[in-house]
Amino acid sequence: MSAPILDVQNVTMRFGGIVANRNVSFSVERGAITALIGPNGAGKTTIFDCITGFYRASEGRILLNGRGTSEDIGALITRPITGGSHLVTRAGIARTFQNIRLFKEMSVIENLLVAQHLATRNNLLSGVFRTRAYRNAEAEAVDRAYYWLGQMSLVEDANHLAGELPYGRQRRLEIARAMCTSPKLICLDEPAAGLNPSETKDLSDVIRRLCADHDLSVLVIEHDMGLVMRIANHIVVLDHGEVISDGTPESVTNDPAVIAAYLGVS
């Protein structure tokens, strides 16, 4: 079996006296869909924030193995909050958010172009304008944006304001924006939140297709167990900041520790 795309090793995250994650270890296999589940407040989003460079973990290491050599995500995080996240994006990790974070006053297509400006090492915004290289890079960015709008069935919305799209389309736009940065790993934080059953079913198909057709590995936080069971190859369960179960969907859902955590039995 090939090395995992992501290896989270003994990560602890403290906020003052609050321990949001304690000694968390798990890995994400290349080309697979891994679901991260657990009750409210279990520490799921916090571990995402460590993986995607919003926080530097208090302890432990997070290794991205997408370039053949391991890359320590912590070492990419030079400043807290957004300072490190662009570097993590450039290393090949993209994410979406539990509460949609689009540039709502910009058009749909502009959202995708801005994401590429932030993710590209040869930052287009700081490039020398009117050079051929700049124009080529810009044309490629537009092509890539339209490609992902097509994949997410959003082409007709290209010039609409992002904030005026119906909610389900905003969710798809967030995925398109993440995919525009050509990630190796995408981290989806509750992508089905607020979607109706039909939109959730479509989302399952979209996630599976992304994984199969685009050499992508997926880490997804989700409360909708129907979606999790439809798409996940592997499930990691957090409770009170710690991993309490890790394995196939079948083994995890039959694990007495998981049943107890969800039913509130100790």
Q: What residue ranges bind ligand ATP (CB under 6 A)?
A: 15, 18, 20, 38, 40-46, 98
For residue 18, the surrounding DSSP H or E stretch is: strand 18-28
Angle at 88 between CA 57 and CA 233, to 5 degrees: 80
Work out the angle between the directed axes of helices 167-179 and 108-119 (0-180°, nearest 10). Answer: 30
| Upper half-sphere CA count for residue 117 (Cβ side, 13 Å) | 12
Residue 42 DSSP SS3: coil
For residue 24, the minimal CB distance to ligand ATP (Å) is 11
For residue 44, the minimal CB distance to ligand ATP (Å) is 4
Based on CB atoms, which residue is closest to ligand ATP, 14 or 201?
Answer: 14
For residue 47, the minimal CB distance to ligand ATP (Å) is 7
Rounded Cα distance between 66 and 53, Å, is: 16
Based on CB atoms, which residue is closest to ligand ATP, 45 or 233?
Answer: 45
Based on CB atoms, which residue is closest to ligand ATP, 43 or 92?
Answer: 43
8 A C-beta contact, residue 122 and residue 116: no
Based on CB atoms, which residue is closest to ligand ATP, 24 or 165?
Answer: 24
Provide the terminal-to-terminal Cα distance of the chain, rounded to the nearest Å: 36
Largest CA distance in the chain: 65
Based on CB atoms, which residue is closest to ligand ATP, 115 or 221?
Answer: 221
For residue 48, the minimal CB distance to ligand ATP (Å) is 8
For residue 55, the minimal CB distance to ligand ATP (Å) is 8
